[in-house]
Structure formats: C-alpha cells, structure tokens
Amino acid sequence: MNPYCLSIDELKKKATEIRKRIVVLNAESPAGGHTGADLSQVEIVTSLYFRILNCAPDRTDDPERDVYIQSKGHAAGGYYCCLAEAGYFPVDWLPHYQHADSKLPGHPVRQKTPGVELNTGALGHGLPVAVGLALAAKKSGSKRKIYVVTGDGELAEGSNWEAALVAAHYGLDNLIIINDKNKLQLAGYTKDIMKTDPLDKKWEAFGMQVTECDGNDVGSVVDALEGLKQEGKPNVVIANTIKGAGISFIQGRPEWHHRVPKGEEVTQALEELSHG
C-alpha cells in the first residue's frame, strides 16, 4: 500500500509545496528547465506518490511494487521535486539539479536518481516499456500495476499507438495511461502542430477504457484513479490540465515551455502560491 495515504486537503497542501520547490529549482538551475510541463503535472504525480501508488522509498527493489514511468521526461524537475518530498532522496539534492555530475540530470536516469524506474527523454518511449512491464506482470501472476504519464504533444509519436495495440490485444488491465493534456508543446498549441483530438474516441478505438478528469484538481484525479476497474482492458485517464498551472503569469503561455522564472518573477510566483 501507499505509505502516506494523504487526504484530499493534505494532497492540496503537498501540491502547493511541490510547486514552490519547482519554482526555486528551475530558477537556480544552470541549464534552465521546463517550467510549464513541470507545473501542469503536479496534481497527478502528487496524487500518485502520496496516495495511489503501492510503492515506497524503502521498497524500490520490491518485485510487487507498483511502477511509475515519467514518459514526458523533459518534466524531470517537477518529478524530482515530488520524489524528494516523498523521501526517495534528500531535498538538499534539489539545488544541484542539472549541475555537472549531479544525481538529478535534465532527464530522468535510473542509474543516477533513486526512485526513477526508467530513463526517459526521447518522447514516445515510456508507454512501450510500460506495456512490456504490464505484460510481464500478467504472465508472472503479479498484482502490481504500471502507471505511465505522457504529454498530449507526445502522442504524435507513433510508438505510443503501436504500444496501445499490444496493450489492448493482451488485455493489460494492470496498465494505467495518464495523458497530461495541457494542450501545449514546445513550439505552440498542440492542435496547431499535430491535432490529437478527439483523444477519448481514439483511445476507445484502440480498445481502452477511458476516463477524464480535471488534472489540476487532486480530488478529481484521485476520484478518477481510485474509480478505475480492471475488466480486461487497459485504462486511460485523460487529465485535462493547464500548462504552467498555479502561477498567473506562467499558465497557458507557450513561451514557458523552456523558460524559467528569474528575479522578481520568483518572488511573485512564491507569493502567489503562498496566498493562493
């Protein structure tokens, strides 16, 4: 079981603390960061690590632990802030994000960072590996679940849809795909670069059970994840989010894909989060 099992109110507070860490982390990084992507997924990863996932810092080698894969690997900063809060490594590692020889590189690396299950960064790789892990669990009789978070822009990669065919064919109902649908990607709006809607109908056509939620509301995320059924089909949760969510001058703005707050922007962001 999850070692924290936080209430909805506790999850909201935890998400705010993680957002604050993301602001400082990216502001101090010598190589910048992906602020918008980090912020859009906060409620998703907070709900997973502090309530949903059957895993813990002292069980990283447990063969029956649930597995989380951060397929949108460019959002490593937000992922690290959550892992640190959950006790997978000391929070005093965070100021070393993206420094030379840091244990927290710009994209997740299993061999460097405790808690990371898969090296990710090249988009479209996380879901195929998650399918393999879910299939292996099925064949071995394991009750573990495999969770993977993808970006919506990432779904333009064909490897995702090949993996979806395999997942449905083998009835991998131990696989939970969470789409962080923030409607933006590197250069602009996803609908203008490569339209993926209607996502729900696409996933259903590939043989998935589909649920939607407000991905920036922990109550909605928890309801969706705790309400999933294992009925012979993989589950897809379309988490409707805002890129850069939680900070007024960042959210919904394409330029914050790879921009980081500096100077007064850091102060303003932290003030908003403290009084929001």
Predicted confidence (pLDDT) per residue in 78-101, tens digit: 999 999 999 999 999 999 999 999
Domains in the chain: boundaries = 8-275
- Residue 57, Cβ neighbours under 10 Å: how many? 13
Using the structure block, give the residue that is written with the tokens 């850069």.
244
Q: Are strands 175-181 and 235-240 parallel, antiparallel or unpaired?
A: parallel
Instruction: Report the C-alpha gap between 84 and 105 in whole angstroms.
Output: 14
So what's the pLDDT on residue 174? 98
So what's the pLDDT on residue 83? 98
Q: Are strands 235-240 and 209-214 parallel, antiparallel or unpaired?
A: parallel
Q: Token digits for 32? A: 């910048």
In contact, 71 and 120? CB cutoff 8 Å? yes
So what's the pLDDT on residue 262? 97
So what's the pLDDT on residue 276? 76
The residues, any chain, with a CB within 8 Å of residue 117's CB and separated by 6 or more, are 67, 68, 69, 110
Question: Which one, of 168, 171, 178, lies nearest residue 207 by Cα?
Answer: 168
- Can you give the pLDDT of all 276 residues of the chain as single tens digits? 999 999 999 999 999 999 999 999 999 999 999 999 999 999 999 999 999 999 999 999 999 999 999 999 999 999 999 999 999 999 999 999 999 999 999 999 999 999 999 999 999 999 999 999 999 999 999 999 999 999 999 999 999 999 999 999 999 999 999 999 999 999 899 999 999 999 999 999 999 999 999 999 999 999 999 999 999 999 999 999 999 999 999 999 999 999 999 999 999 999 999 997
CATH number of 8-275: 3.40.50.970
Measure CA 175 to chain center.
15
Instruction: Report the C-alpha gap between 12 and 94 in whole angstroms.
Output: 21
DSSP letter, residue 63: T
Q: What is the largest CA-CA distance in the chain?
A: 54
Instruction: Report the C-alpha gap between 50 and 54 in whole angstroms.
Output: 10
**pTM listed for this prediction:** 0.98
Instruction: Report the C-alpha gap between 205 and 251 in whole angstroms.
Output: 32
